Structure 1
Amino acid sequence: MEFGEQIKNLRIKNNLTQEQFAEKLHVTRQAVSNWENNRNLPDLEMLILIAEVFQLSLDTFILGGTHVNTMTQKLIKDGSETRRAKFNLFSIIMGTILLCLGFACFLIKGLSVEYIDDAGILHENFFLLPMGFIFLLAGFTVFLVFATKYFLSLRKN
């Protein structure tokens, strides 16, 4: 059974008009109509509210029986898109941090004073140059991998 049919059956079973059903859920009548006609689907918070208001099990309400319906497919798709978005955000942040660390190493190296003390020992932050290059390489690699994955996923769709 499609999710729209489930909403309509639930509304009719409780002897409610679309307007009354919408008032109970604090949405518009058009939203209920869109749900019933499968033009739009409610978000997860709304599903929980519907289940609470009408004392329904979320399993039965979302799955609607033994087969997967459009609502379940939407929830699965939304979950995977959320995970993908979080991973993309994490990748961008990590790449940015690595690039900033690389530039900071070069900046510190450029601003630091190199000197020879009375014992004839050279004091220099020589390690900052290779570290800066490593951070820059790592940052560019993260962005390159991220961009490649992103463009490959666009080609798939």
Structure 2
Amino acid sequence: MEFGEKIKELRTKNQLTQEKFAIRLNVTRQAVSNWENNRNLPDLEMLILISSIFHISLDELILGGSNVNNMTEKLIKDGSETRRAKLTMVTTLIGAFLLFFGFACFFIKANSVEYIDAIGILHENFYLIPIGFLFIFAGMMVFIFTGIRFIIAFVAHRK
């Protein structure tokens, strides 16, 4: 049974009009109508309120039995999109930090003092150059792979 059918069945079984049901949920009658006609779906907070009004579990309300319905698909999709957004944010931050540290290595190298001691040994921070390049390369790779993943997800979402 689809989510809209389930809401309508519960509402009519409890002898509530769309208007009365909307007032109890503090939404418009049109919102209830959209839910019942599967044009729109309520958010998680609203689902909790609906389940408490009808005294049914969220499992029964969302799953509507043993079949997966459109509400279940929406919750699964929202969860995967949230995880993808968090992963993208974390990888972008990692890439930014890598780039920052790479440029910081070059800045430190440019401003460090190089000298020859009394024995004739040159003292310089030569190791900062390859380390800086390594950080910049790693940061760019993180940005490129994150961008490719974003484009692939965007194209897949549009289909």
Please classify the TM superposition score into its range, dividing by the shorter chain length.
over 0.9
* More displaced stretch, 45-54 vs 130-139: 45-54
Residues 119-150 of structure 1 deviation map (CA, whole Å, 9 limit, x = unaligned): 54433222211110010010011111112222
Q: Deviations over 1:12-62 (max 9, x none)?
A: 122111121112112121111110111100111111121123221111110
2:57 maps to: 57
Distance in 1, Cα, partners of 2:86 & 2:108: 32
Structure 2 residue identity aligned to 1:115: Y
Partners of 2:3 and 2:22 in 1: CA distance: 16
Secondary structure at the counterpart of residue 68 of structure 1: coil
State which drifts further: 108-117 or 134-143: 108-117
Residue number in structure 2 paired with 1:79: 79
Report the TM-score when normalising by structure 1. 0.92
Alpha-carbon distance in 1 for matches of 2:55, 2:110: 68
The yes-or-no answer on 1:21 pairing with 2:41 is no
The 2-side partners of 1:23 and 1:117 are apart by 84
* Corresponding residue for residue 11 of structure 1: 11
Secondary structure in 2 matching 1:22: helix
Matches within 5 A, 1:1-157: 1-156=1-156, 157=159
Q: Which runs of 5+ in 2 are unaligned?
A: none
Counting matched residue pairs gives: 157
Q: Which is worse superposed, 69-78 or 42-51? A: 42-51
Once the two structures are superposed, residues 78-98 of structure 1 have per-residue CA deviations (whole angstroms, 9 ceiling, x without a partner) of 111111111111111111111
Q: RMSD of the alignment, in Å?
A: 1.5
State the AA in 2 paired with 1:106.
Answer: F
